[in-house]
Each structure stands twice: as structure tokens, then as C-alpha cells.
Amino acid sequence: MKLSEINYSNKFDDLNNQLNKFINQDKHVILIDSKLSSIVNLDTRFKIYEIEIDESMKNLNTIEKIWEIMFSESLDRNSKIIGIGGGVLTDLVGFAASTFKRGASLSLVPSTFLGMVDAAHGGKTGFNNKYGKNQIGTFFIPEEIFVCTEFLSSLSEMEMNNGIIESLKSGFLGDDKIIQMIYKDEHKNNFEEIIKKSIHVKYQILKNDLHESNERMFLNLGHTIGHLIEIDSNYNISHGQAVAIGLLKGFEISETRFDLSRSIREEFKTFLNKKSMKTEYIFSSNQTKLKELITNDKKVSNGVVKFVLIKNIQEPVLVDFPIDDLLEALTNE
Ligand SMILES: NC(=O)c1ccc[n+]([C@@H]2O[C@H](COP(=O)([O-])OP(=O)(O)OC[C@H]3O[C@@H](n4cnc5c(N)ncnc54)[C@H](O)[C@@H]3O)[C@@H](O)[C@H]2O)c1
């Protein structure tokens, strides 16, 4: 299986140079998150369309708008579609490109830390509907991904934390050095290295299981509980914050099940405290509602959740966790 080619730069000028080759391509279009227009100056010879997005616009209406642009520009399967933005934009553009005439050529430029270490990679595309997040989607690998770390300088602390937590998740799954670098704040001097290391962990997993039948589920470490927290809080808790609490809870369960050293949870808690992030969450939904929410998770079948725990750092394990046991662990009832 061919994964994306990844190009790195740390200045927008270099990114423009890397993208320049598409200007001469027969047809191309750049779809960019409109919030970025004042942040990055792209070569004026590009065909650029700004897309106004946020998570609430990650829906079929926005997909229709993107398809409309593709048709009105008379693009074909060989045209280049370039998406520049965070995970919302890259998921949407990825989906639109994967379905346009059964698949056009796609390149992505992630503009958030989360996008650089996670969302742009691995080919998952999609959008939300009334039944939940990312319920409709495809697997469609972008040909190239352009990581430009100058985008990071305009991100809020919360957006940076979203990426840092995903990067730490990669560390827990497959590279202790990531954890050590982040705990010591060394990533701030070398974002490219931490991004490369995080992507490496993800690609090692993807090359064996792109379509998430087994190993790819490891990437959900911290996310099953994290998603529940996001929904229960009506998305008032950020993704990174929710996953951080999900990781802590997962480590606690791993201590009981696999004798995981308690020091891993303690060290992570100390890190979260240092960043003024929460380490606990109390659900407001009642048991029946929580059970319904868990049942809607894509990793649930026949009352059993495919849940990711760790036996140690770099030793993830997938367990079949009955929904009722998970509920008990979450509410201590
Ligand atoms: N496909 C995957 O494998 C995958 C993995 C993880 C997450 N996701 C998806 O990614 C989405 C979250 O992605 P995200 O955290 O990047 O959120 P996002 O795309 O909503 O971006 C966060 C905010 O930052 C703004 N922004 C983007 N780049 C900026 C920059 N350089 N400077 C300042 N502001 C900037 C955006 O306009 C937005 O307001 C979710 O929808 C999630 O489902 C997908």
C-alpha cells in the first residue's frame, strides 16, 4: 500500500515554492479555510477558493459547495485538488475529492498541529450528520502532504494542546522519545522532529491495517472516552482536553487489567496540571443516555466496545470491553 509523500518546510515562502509545480499542471484548485487568508499569502497564480468552515459546517451542504467548485472549474480526474486547513477542512476536501468522478488527485496542507500530526494522514475523510461525527466517509490517501510549521505560530494555546495530546498518544503507542521531548518542552524548539516522530508511529500502524479492521484501532487510544466527554459536554470541552482525560482513565483501567505502572498516569497528570488542563470529568448524562452514546460509537458491536489499553508504553492492546463494564468504570457505580 502506498502512503502519502510528505514534504516539510518552516516558512510560507518555501511552501509556496513546493506548491508552485501545480500552477503549471493542466487544472488545479486550492480550497482553503477562509480564516487562513490573512495568515498565509499564496502565489496569486493559484486558483484559490476560500471555504468558510467550522465543525458545525462539516456537513453535506459544504461538500455540495466543494463539488460545485470542482464542476464549475471543469476539473477532471487528473486535476489536482489541494486542501489547506485544519482537520475539518482536510476531512471535507478529502471526501469531496474521493467521490468526485470516483476520485481526483488530492494533496493536503494541514494548518493545525492536530492536522500535521494526525488528521491529514492516513486517508480517513468524512463529515457529520444528525447521527453523529464522521458518520459518512471514505478512505482516500492523499498523494502528497505538505507540512509547513509556520502555520503553528498563529494557533491558540487550546489548538496547540489538541495537537500535543495527539502527539503524546502516538508516543504512548509507539515512541517513548515523543513523551520525553514533550514533557521536557523540547518539542517547542523542534516541531518538525516531533511531527515526524508522531507520523512515523501512525504510518507504522497504517501500513498493516489501513481500513481499521484491527491494528488501526490502536489509534483510538483515549478517544472512546474522549468522544463521550465531548458529546456529553456539548462540545464545550476541547478534543485534546477530552482525549487527555480519556487517556488517564484508560491508564487507570490498564493498571487493574494489566498491572500498568501507576507512574505513567502520575507523570501524565503532572504534565496536564502544568499545562492547566483538567484531569477529571463528571458526566452529566444519566446511565441510560451514556449507554446510548456508547452504543453509537463506530467501534461497538453486540454490546461490546473494542477498547484500547496499554500493557506498557509502546505496548497497546485491544480488548473487548462490555458496554456495562465501561459504564461502571466511567461512573464508578
Ligand atoms: N481524518 C482523520 O484521520 C482525523 C483525525 C483526527 C481528527 N480529525 C478531524 O479533525 C477535526 C479537528 O481538526 P482541527 O483540530 O485541526 O480543527 P479545525 O480544522 O476546526 O481547526 C481549528 C480552528 O483553527 C483554525 N485554524 C486552522 N489553522 C489555523 C492556523 N494556522 N492559525 C490559526 N487558526 C487556524 C480553524 O479555522 C478552526 O477555527 C475534527 O473534525 C476531527 O473529526 C480527522
User: Are residues 206 and 148 part of one domain?
Assistant: no
| Other Cβ atoms closer than 10 A to 189 | 9
- Pocket of ligand 1 contains residue 162 by CB under 6 Å: yes
Q: Quick one: pLDDT at residue 119? A: 97
Ligand 1: distance of its center to the CA of 112 in Å?
A: 6
Residue 285, pLDDT above cutoff 70: yes
Regarding beta strands 5-9 and 144-148, do their DSSP bridges make them parallel or antiparallel, or are they unpaired? parallel
Instruction: Say yes or no: 304 and 162 in one domain.
Output: yes
| Structural domains counted in the chain | 2
In this predicted structure, what is the pLDDT of residue 1?
Answer: 67
- Return mean pLDDT, the chain: 94
The CB-based long-range contact list for 281-285 (8 Å cut-off, 24+ gap) reads 281/229, 281/232, 281/233, 281/237, 281/242, 281/245, 283/228, 283/229, 283/232, 283/330, 283/331, 284/232, 284/233, 285/232
Query: Is 124 close to ligand 1, i.e. is its CB under 6 Å away?
Result: yes
CATH number of 137's domain: 3.40.50.1970
- pTM (2 decimals)? 0.95
Of 154, 180, 205, which closes a domain? 154
Domain carrying residue 122: 5-154
What CATH number does residue 289 fall under? 1.20.1090.10
Residue bearing the CA closest to ligand 1, atom 31: 151
Say whether pLDDT at 333 is over 70.
no
196 and 71, same domain (yes or no) = no
Closest ligand 1 atom number to CA of residue 54? 20
Same domain for 281 and 167, yes or no, is yes
List, for residues 57-76, the tens digit of each pLDDT value: 999 999 999 999 999 999 99
Tell me: the pLDDT tens digits for 7-31? 999 999 999 999 999 988 779 999 9
Substitution candidate for ligand 1 out of 10, 31, 35 with most atoms within 8 A of CB: 35
* Whether residue 227 sits in one domain with residue 243: yes
Task: Give yes or no: residues 81 and 94 share one domain.
Answer: yes
pLDDT reading at 313 higher than 90: yes
